[in-house]
Copies of this chain bind each other. A is one copy, B any other.
């Protein structure tokens, strides 16, 4: 099993001293996702994607990825999920995950091509990117209201629970809270999109998607890709420690999602859905 952290021999330098020591860094390794699909008589397999990720919760990562790309809608569509090697090199064995879809699951590769924002086109302007997501996710109509004081407390709760960050000082996290501010789930990864896919995959396995009545905290910036994933999963309330992009704000507005940015030091900015914040 791959580890999430590993040792590195470093020199720590400041204005007055240099110290050679052993330190920990977050592990980054490729993960290949393979899909088996189609009726038993004409079963097919494709290599769907490779993502650079921090090992740990790999099945959740894969399922969250497949869900947010629109390939899966429920966990019931998965016949099996496992690590596979198939004659590859021994050192690859923890880095290939194979998902067998049940024969009834329609897997349309051409449809898939429109979903990968990095590798193909969903219409090449912000508006069409948003429209493309909007047609696949639901308008968020939950009307709860969260007190400001509760929100101010969530970054510290996230940080306390971040094991890998504590050891390495640098890794992204996604944290999921209930409406009372209780931490339900935390995942860490060198890729911020992976950390969120792990959260969504774990919730998909439990059958709790769409993720009504949840608050998601992102440790970094809020890009379109992250808000797209949150929208696909029906998360009504998203807070980012960093800044949101223009397209992230537009998508949050369009789906009626609450989006906060710069959540730190008992401050934040509300970019969308202010009606859910009691301030």
Residues of A within 8 A of B (CB): 6, 8, 10-15, 18, 23, 25-32, 47, 49-52, 54, 88-89, 91-92, 95-96, 116-129, 148, 152, 168-171, 190-191, 221, 223-225, 242-249, 261-262, 266-271, 274, 277, 279
Contact = CB atoms under 8 A, between A and B. Distances in A.
What 4 A-B pairs come out closest when comparing CB atoms? A170-B243, A28-B245, A11-B270, A28-B247
Given A117-B52, A124-B96, A125-B91, A148 B13 contact: yes
Contact of A18 (B23, B32, B47, B279): B279
A128 B89 contact: yes
B271 A49 contact: no
Given A26-B246, A28-B246, A245-B26, A13 B52 contact: no
Contacts of A6: 246
A117 B50 contact: yes
16 contacts: A6-B246, A10-B270, A13-B148, A25-B243, A26-B243, A27-B247, A28-B247, A29-B125, A29-B246, A30-B129, A47-B121, A52-B225, A52-B247, A88-B124, A92-B123, A170-B243
Given A23-B269, A30-B129, 14 more contacts: A13-B148, A13-B267, A13-B268, A25-B271, A28-B246, A31-B124, A50-B117, A50-B118, A52-B117, A52-B225, A88-B124, A89-B125, A169-B262, A190-B223
A95 B23 CA distance: 43
A251 to B, nearest CB: 10
Nearest to A193: B118
B8 A271 contact: yes
A96 B121 CA distance: 10
B270 A13 contact: yes
B128 A13 contact: no
Contacts of A126: 28-30
A262 B274 CA distance: 35
B170 A269 contact: no
Contact of A243 (B169, B245, B269): B169
